[in-house]
Amino acid sequence: MTALPDWTRPPRPEGWLAEDLDHLPEAPRHTQLIDGALILRLSPQRSWHGRLVTALTTALMAQAPAGFEVEREMTIRLDDRNRPEPDLLLTALPYDPDRTYYPPDAVHLAVEVVSPETAHRDRTVKLRKYAEAGIPHYWCVEDEDGSPVVHTYELDQPTRAYAPAGIFRGSLRRPVPFPISLDLERLVPARRRG
């Protein structure tokens, strides 16, 4: 059995806290905190995922009105024991080069691009946690034979749960959090068939 490095041991019996992530220089990039447990990305990222996140970030930046910022791979401090990292988010907070996380009330949209190893977390755990934290919009992007399919959700304020707002293939047009129009097929290169 391989011994774990010392930095992986929680500093307290109840686990890790959100502020601990800022003091773990040994932790791999994209380390998240869910229910007081560190979530590490150990498998390599697929090219499809990286290309899609980059293209989606660029497309949203081009359409975002003044006062909106698009951030890629920044954590959201939902509470003391949860600091997940969506693939991208929209916020109204101004750019701050020293920022390490966003508060949920400053996030208008969280986007997760589903990978095989994150599917359960993205489709259920994060969906619930982002809604409970009051984030108004959530997108879960799936790979359907190489094409992105976007499942959109809007927050039902009284229940603090997401309601499905549409499934988009080919193109996406949404009026919130600002008017967005995307050609989904152009976000990733077409797969070559051998």
Per-residue pLDDT tens over the stretch 168-178: 999 999 999 99
- Contacts of residue 81, defined as CB under 8 A and 6 or more positions apart, other chains included, come to 15, 16, 17, 18, 33, 35, 36
Torsion of CA 31, 34, 36, 37, to 10 degrees: -60
Q: How far is CA 41 from the centre of its chain?
A: 13
Q: Would you list the domain boundaries of the chain?
A: 6-39, 47-186
Q: Find all residues with CB under 8 Å of 174, minimum gap 6, and list them.
A: 152, 165, 166, 180
* Pairing mode, strands 137-144 and 107-113: parallel
3 state SS of 49: helix
pTM of the entire structure?
Answer: 0.92
Q: Give the pairing type, strands 69-72 and 75-76.
A: unpaired
pLDDT digits (tens, 9 = 90+) for 97-154: 999 999 999 999 999 999 999 999 999 999 999 999 999 999 999 999 999 999 999 9
Q: Which CATH number fits domain 47-186: 3.90.850.10, 2.30.30.790, 3.10.129.10, 3.90.1570.10?
A: 3.90.1570.10
